[in-house]
Chains A and B, each alone.
Chain A
Amino acid sequence: SQLAEENPWALSVHEGESVTVNCSYKTSITALQWYRQKSGEGPAQLILIRSNEREKRNGRLRATLDTSSQSSSLSITATRCEDTAVYFCATDRSSGSWQLIFGSGTQLTVMP
């Protein structure tokens, strides 16, 4: 089974709506990252949230972290068509490791 997993597998919203992607993980972590991968590109980091943080914001993005339930969420407000992408959460392989474990991603489609 996956060490990190996003849900749902896919989402569709209309521009201007808000959306939330969830992540569950199974390892002890020092930090959790959210990445976005647009078609034809490599993933790019959106937010990093450390294990001692509960919430982090970056513009229209808000990430939360609950280490007791080993879960995280990424919310996007006022979505735009250009937010259409696959969203991944990524954790360390083990606490303090520099190797990342990615989930299988959530495909977000934002329609006009």
Chain B
Amino acid sequence: ETAVFQTPNYHVTQVGNEVSFNCKQTLGHDTMYWYKQDSKKLLKIMFSYNNKQLIVNETVPRRFSPQSSDKAHLNLRIKSVEPEDSAVYLCASRSLGSYEQYFGPGTRLTVL
């Protein structure tokens, strides 16, 4: 099956903990993204990454960092979570030359 896969589906943690979310795409795409979706469904891009360049949205706090082992994987680490990090984190990928982005199902993070 070709798609964008994310794990875990849900994660509940406490303030100050470190969390890591995984994303894998089997579509053969060149570029991957992480988005944050808040409770009002607003989607904000956090990172875009291909094998040459990482682009970081300037509003993303430094406790967030992407981690990539190859062009099919882009994980997200949050060093010390805060309550405002509660959201759905969506991973997406895109093929070079195409506008369409393919999204995973998301990871819902709840910070207590």
Hey, which bits of chain A sit against chain B, CB under 8 A?
30-31, 33, 37, 40-45, 48, 86, 88, 92, 98-102, 104-105, 107
Contact = CB atoms under 8 A, between A and B. Distances in A.
B105 A48 contact: no
A45 B100 contact: yes
Interface stretch (B40-48, B63-71, B72-80): B40-48
Contact of B31 (A31, A98, A101): A98
Interface of B: 4, 31, 40-43, 45, 48, 55, 90, 92, 94, 99-106
Given A41-B105, A98-B94, A99-B48, A33 B100 contact: yes
Contacts of A44: 102-103
Q: Dominant SS at the A interface?
A: strand
A40 B105 contact: yes
Contacts of B101: 43, 45, 100
B36 to A, nearest CB: 11
Consensus secondary structure, chain B interface: strand
Contact of A100 (B45, B104, B105): B45
Give 5 nearest A-B pairs by CB, closest first: A42-B103, A102-B43, A105-B41, A104-B42, A45-B100
Contacts of B48: 98-99
A101 B71 CA distance: 23
Most chain A Cβ neighbours within 10 Å, of B45, B101, B104: B101
B4 A48 contact: no
A45 B92 CA distance: 12
A43 B45 contact: no
Contacts of B94: 98
Contact of B55 (A88, A99, A102, A104): A99
21 contacts: A30-B99, A31-B99, A33-B100, A40-B106, A41-B105, A42-B4, A42-B92, A42-B105, A43-B90, A44-B102, A44-B103, A45-B101, A48-B100, A92-B99, A98-B94, A98-B99, A99-B55, A100-B101, A102-B43, A104-B42, A107-B41
